[in-house]
Amino acid sequence: MIQLTRGRYRARMADTDADILAAQSLRGCAFHGGGVDKDRFDAICDHVLIEETRSGSLVCCFRFLPLASGDEIGRSYSAQYYELSALESFSGPMVEMGRFCIDPDLRDPDILRVAWGAMTAYVDDKGVELLFGCASFAGTDAHAYDDAFAMLKARHLAPRRWLPRVKAPDVFRFAQRLRLKPDAKQAMLRMPPLLRTYLMMGGWVSDHAVVDAQMNTLHVFTGVEIAAIPPARKKLLRAVVG
C-alpha cells in the first residue's frame, strides 16, 4: 500500500467507494469541465489519490492496472486504441498508468513530484519491469504540436521489437508525415508534463498519435522499461519515496 507524505501533499491508495467517486469527479472536472468520468476499467484498477494534507482536498489522481506479463496486455485500456501484439512477448510484470489528472486550478510542481514518488513506490512494490500508458496532448489539432511530434520521431520512437501498430480509425502518423527539424525549445514547451517525465526516464512512444474526439485529445502510446531508467533519474525518484 502506498502511504507517502511530502511537504503539503500526501499520496495514498483509494480504499472506499467514496474515494473512487472523488477520483472520478476530479477526472470529470479535468477532462470534461464537470460531471463524473468513469469507465469499465475503474473496477479492475488500483487508484492513487494525491491530497493536500491540511485540507484533505483531492488535487491529483491516477490509476494502475497491473498485468503479470505481456500475455495480458489485451486487457489494458491502451489496447482499445493500439495494436499491441508485439508486446505480448514481454515476459516481466507490467503496469498501465492511466487517467492521470491534476486539479486544473492548481499549478504546483510538487504535486507531480509526489505523484511520481507514488508511482515509484508502486513499481518497486510490484516488481514492475514495464510501465506504459497513453500520454495525451490537449485538443485534436495535430499540427499545433508539430515540433513536439517531430522531436518524438527524431529521438523517442519505440524499439522496433515493441512498436505498437495502428488500430484506431483516426490517427496522425507523425513518423511518416513530418519532415521538419524540430525546434527543441518549442518541442519541450508543447510536450505535456506527464510525457516529458516519461521521456526523461528513457521512455519511448508509438509512431502515431490517436485522435480521440470524445476526450478532445491526441495521445501516443508510451512505454518505460524500468531497467533502462537512467541511474540519476532513479535516484531522484526514490528520494521522493524516502
Rounded Cα gap, residues 115 and 11, in angstroms: 7
Rounded Cα gap, residues 92 and 86, in angstroms: 14
Determine the pLDDT at residue 1. Answer: 67
Q: How many residues does the chain have?
A: 242
* Grid cell for residue 68: 503479470
pTM over 0.75: yes
Determine the pLDDT at residue 38. Answer: 97
The topology under which CATH files domain 3-241 is: Aminopeptidase (3.40.630)
Determine the pLDDT at residue 242. Answer: 61
Determine the pLDDT at residue 240. Answer: 73
* Grid cell for residue 123: 513499481
Buried b (16+ CB within 10 A) or exposed e, 41-67: bbeebbbbbbbbeeeeebbbbbbbbeb
Which pLDDT band holds residue 138 (cuts at 50, 70, 90)?
very high
Which pLDDT band holds residue 87 (cuts at 50, 70, 90)?
very high
Residue type, 214: Q
Domain boundaries, the chain: 3-241
101-123 pLDDT, tens digit each:
999 999 999 999 999 999 999 99
Determine the pLDDT at residue 6. Answer: 87
38-77 pLDDT, tens digit each:
999 999 999 999 999 999 999 999 999 999 999 999 999 9
